Amino acid sequence: MSDRPVALVTGASSGIGAAIARSLAPTHDLLLGGRDETALSLLAAELPGATAWPFDLTDVASADLGAASRLDVLVHSAGIALLGPLAEASRDDWRRTFDVNLFAVAELTNLLLPRLREAGGHVVLINSGAGRNANPGWGVYAASKFALRAYADALRGDEPSLRVTSVYPGRTATPMQEDVRRQEGGDYDPAKYIDPASVGRAVASAVLATPDAHITEVVVRTR
């Protein structure tokens, strides 16, 4: 690694996380988090200063934290979305969703806090429009994202040396959105949704803001 700042992006094997990695690559060395080792290696080969860092967020303790000897930016993009009415949500649906969308975020942040504090670093949390409005059929996912919003706000207060940014994208053209449309029983036309690169650019603008500016929330909607 060089003397450039270092960013860890979870969910970098796909969609918004991969786009964020591409947006940060010109200014940051990158650790690319995810489970799909092939996708991570392909992206690492494309981006100078990027290293694949495969691990499962449901087993954060298994991650080799030595890879992040310095950390300036931690972007939590990994997430899952299981749709359906609350009456049909099982304990396993709740547990799987909260494991990835919230508990892993809290656990990984805590493990990396010493390095982030040392750097006066930045934590970016990819939330969702569903973290601001809970619509029918979206209860479990929305609850996890409302909780993620609370987590971000509390972290900002607890850790005054850090910058903490919540990003709320609307529907974005990624494999998750394709799966969401399948769960909704509708067609998937990526042209109708936000380009993940646009979310990547929004994240980069928050990360690259001058030190006097703390961009706490970014909302990205479809036009």
Which residues contact ligand NAP (rule: CB under 6 A)? 11, 13-17, 34-36, 56-58, 77-81, 100, 126, 128, 169, 171-172, 174-177
The set of residues, in sequence order, having a beta carbon less than 8 Å from that of 33 and lying 6+ positions away, is 8, 9, 10, 11, 12, 17, 40, 53, 54, 55, 57, 78
Q: Which two tokens stand for residue 111?
A: 């493990």
102-133 exposure pattern, b = at least 16 Cβ within 10 A, e = fewer? bbbbbbbbeebbebbeebebbbbbbbbbbbee
Distance CA(72)–CA(88), nearest Å, equals: 41
How many residues belong to the chain? 223
Q: Which of 141, 151, 168, 193 is catalytic?
A: 141
Q: How far is the CB of 149 from ligand NAP (least distance, A)?
A: 12
Q: How far is the CB of 158 from ligand NAP (least distance, A)?
A: 22
The set of residues, in sequence order, having a beta carbon less than 8 Å from that of 91 and lying 6+ positions away, is none
Q: Closer CB to ligand NAP, residue 83 or residue 113?
A: 83
Q: Closer CB to ligand NAP, residue 57 or residue 155?
A: 57
Q: What is the DSSP string of 153-191?
A: HHHHHH-TTSEEEEEEE-SBSSHHHHHHHHHHT----GG
Q: How far is the CB of 208 from ligand NAP (least distance, A)?
A: 20
Q: Closer CB to ligand NAP, residue 4 or residue 170?
A: 170
Q: How far is the CB of 145 from ligand NAP (least distance, A)?
A: 7
Q: How far is the CB of 183 from ligand NAP (least distance, A)?
A: 12
For the beta carbon of residue 176, count every other beta carbon within 10 angstroms. Answer: 18
Q: Closer CB to ligand NAP, residue 36 or residue 159?
A: 36
Q: Closer CB to ligand NAP, residue 39 or residue 119?
A: 39
The set of residues, in sequence order, having a beta carbon less than 8 Å from that of 219 and lying 6+ positions away, is 129, 132, 168
Q: Is 188 a catalytic residue?
A: no
What residues are labeled active site? Answer: 141
